[in-house]
């Protein structure tokens, strides 16, 4: 009742008392009351970022679902993965790996239903987050090989995740290969995957720019900007900056100035932009303007001579 009223301190007080009482009884794998109490404590702790309580109660939830006959492996994987994330955030890498491995072992034993596949991918994401590149690559590739519909939204997301992995390791050609495959899948649903299409094009463009293919990079970035809605200030600001950077590579200073100006204008309206981001854009704009002034002065001197 207190929970539904938003009175979290009163709610957690009663939940912790209920937890202490139920823990005095023998653990039963089908003890619904115990499950309800633990999950209520977990929801309150997660909502209020009471991390120590979250870790303690997640341990109990994993134990509870593991005690069932047979074990409820989906929830063991789900809460084990949560434990791994929490331990990593606390700086305990060893326990993070332990519980991510528990989650991975559990989810692999289940059939590849849609909900199971998505949890599997989330667990592999967690390994990527803590820096286990080889494990992430192996399991994303496995999931992709098992995906029957190679043009599905799930396949697109897997290609995108592999693209990000290879991109982070500067394996540019493999990154472009998977980003391109993801883009082709997303293009089957252009109305519902607009942002994914725009972001994937941006990722391809940045690699192409680094490889010296400036024309294609500009093409992808302009296309990305054209499909975003007007209120996507964060993404549009980032893409304008990337396009401006690309124009500086080919010394098209007028276009570089235009897009840095747009990046600054959009960043000031974006929720996620920081003062340091805006300051960086302004510094780059000043450098471009300085370069244009130097060219103007140089041309003027040449005409005088």
Fold of 147-227: 1.25.40
List, for residues 259-275, the tens digit of each pLDDT value: 999 999 999 998 888 89
pLDDT at 46: 77
List, for residues 274-300, the tens digit of each pLDDT value: 899 999 999 999 999 999 988 876 565
Question: How many Cβ atoms are within 10 Å of 173's Cβ, its own excluded?
Answer: 9
Average pLDDT along the chain: 89
pLDDT at 271: 85
Q: Which long-range contacts (CB under 8 A, 24 or more apart) does 94-102 make?
A: 96/130, 97/130, 97/132, 99/62, 100/126, 100/127, 100/130, 102/62, 102/76, 102/77
pLDDT at 18: 63
Question: How many Cβ atoms are within 10 Å of 89's Cβ, its own excluded?
Answer: 11
Say whether 147-227 and 41-129 share the same fold: yes
Q: pLDDT over 90 for what percent of the chain?
A: 71
Cα 165 from Cα 133, distance rounded (Å): 7
Would you list the domain boundaries of the chain? Answer: 41-129, 147-227, 232-295
List, for residues 93-147, the tens digit of each pLDDT value: 999 999 999 999 999 999 999 999 999 999 999 999 999 999 999 999 999 999 9
The pTM is what? Answer: 0.85
CATH for 41-129 (1.10.1200, 1.25.40, 1.20.272, 1.10.1740)? 1.25.40
pLDDT at 76: 98
Task: Using the predicted structure, report yes or no on whether residue 1 has a pLDDT greater than 50.
Answer: no
pLDDT at 5: 43
Mean pLDDT on 171-197? 95
Fold of 232-295: Methane Monooxygenase Hydroxylase; Chain G, domain 1 (1.20.58)
């Amino acid at each position: 009742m207190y929970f539904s009223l938003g009175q979290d301190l009163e709610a957690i007080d009663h939940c912790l008392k209920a937890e202490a009482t139920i823990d005095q009884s023998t653990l039963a794998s089908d003890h619904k009351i115990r499950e309800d109490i633990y999950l209520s404590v977990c929801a309150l702790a997660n909502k209020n970022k009471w991390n120590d309580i979250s870790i303690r109660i997640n341990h109990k939830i994993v134990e509870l679902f593991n005690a069932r006959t047979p074990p409820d492996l989906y929830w063991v994987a789900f809460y084990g993965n949560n434990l791994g994330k929490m331990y990593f955030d606390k700086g305990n890498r060893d326990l993070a790996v332990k519980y991510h491995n528990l989650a991975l072992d559990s989810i692999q034993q289940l059939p590849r239903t849609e909900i199971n596949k998505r949890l599997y991918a989330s667990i592999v994401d967690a390994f990527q987050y803590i820096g286990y590149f080889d494990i992430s690559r192996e399991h994303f590739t496995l999931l992709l090989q098992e995906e029957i519909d190679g043009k599905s939204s799930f396949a697109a997301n897997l290609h995108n995740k592999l693209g990000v992995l290879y991109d982070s390791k500067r394996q540019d050609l493999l990154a472009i290969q998977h980003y391109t495959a993801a883009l082709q899948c997303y293009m089957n649903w252009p109305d519902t995957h607009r942002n994914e299409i725009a972001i994937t094009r941006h990722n391809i463009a940045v690699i192409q720019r680094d490889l010296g293919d400036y024309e294609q990079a500009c093409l992808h970035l302009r296309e990305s900007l054209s499909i975003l809605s007007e209120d996507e200030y964060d993404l549009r600001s980032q893409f304008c900056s990337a396009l401006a950077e690309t124009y500086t590579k080919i010394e098209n200073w007028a276009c570089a100035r235009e897009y840095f100006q747009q990046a600054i204008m959009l960043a000031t309206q974006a929720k996620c932009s920081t003062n340091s981001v805006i300051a960086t854009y302004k510094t780059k704009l000043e450098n471009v303007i300085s370069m244009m002034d130097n060219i103007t002065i140089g041309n003027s001197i040449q005409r005088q001579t």
